[in-house]
Amino acid sequence: MKKRILTFLFICLAHIAISQTFEVGLFGGGSNFVGDVGSTSYIAPNDFAIGGIFKWNRSERHAFRFSFIYANINGEDSASDDPRRIERDYSFNNTIKEFSLGIEFTFLDYDVYDGRRKTTPYLFTGINYFNYDLLARNSFNNDIEKYDSDWEFAIPMVVGIKTNISRTISIGFEIGARYSLTDALDGSNPIGELEDDLSRKFGNLDSDDWYFFTGFTATYTFGDKPCFCVF
């Protein structure tokens, strides 16, 4: 009996090395920002986001996921509900180039190879590393302008739902918050060469910025049916 179990595990391990389920696809949707400039609504896309997704499905309930997303984010005090921001009337534009790596967990088993339609909610988290423009308020006209660029980390918190429309095609919808480890996305708290220039700083300097992506995914599944016995 032990020999049979060991033989089965060996076959399974050998099979999993060459029989994996992968997904590759696209993300498209909108972006928005919450910080010291503009609206404080958390899910209110006002700009675009687009990118690519790659998944390595390790079981029917989880997958390693890598993505790259390019997006614009912006904020306008005139769109805020805060009278003080409306009177101040600052605005900014920034560009995000985000690399993300983490784990996607599904609430239900998701195996497209059994031939049946599957629909499941899912969660994704991990670590992001993104490039963004460094901005600062111009002391003469109060315009928020670019002076450099930088890289920073963010923590993604994503919830979504997905379904397979065929054996190889899956579509989904997701809403993702990114808690960035910087307060410089809107130019309210400049860093680098302007970090010590207190005249350019404004807003709450003790609170880091958030940005959000809301949109649709479409992925193509390829690879042999995997052996999910080891993961």
The three-class DSSP label of residue 190 is coil
| Per-residue pLDDT at 142 | 87
Q: Is the dihedral of CA 52, 45, 213, 133 positive or negative?
A: positive
Q: How far apart are CA 10 and CA 2, in angstroms?
A: 12
| Contact present, 125 and 157 (Cβ < 8 Å) | yes
For residue 63 the two structure tokens come to 């997958």
The dotted CATH code for 2-222 is 2.40.160.20
Q: How far apart are CA 113 and CA 225, in angstroms?
A: 7
Query: What distances in angstroms separate CA 143 from CA 20, 26, 34, one per listed residue?
Result: 52, 35, 19
Instruction: Parse the chain into domains and list their residue ranges.
Output: 2-222
Q: How far apart are CA 71 and CA 131, in angstroms?
A: 11
> pLDDT (tens digit, 9 = 90+) per residue, 11-45?
443 444 434 689 999 999 999 999 999 999 999 99
Bridge partners, 215 (sequence order): 29, 174
Low-confidence ranges of the chain (pLDDT < 50): 1-3, 5-19, 230-231
| Contact present, 49 and 211 (Cβ < 8 Å) | no
Q: What is the dihedral of CA 200, 150, 174, 30, to 10 degrees?
A: 60
| Per-residue pLDDT at 20 | 60
| Per-residue pLDDT at 227 | 57
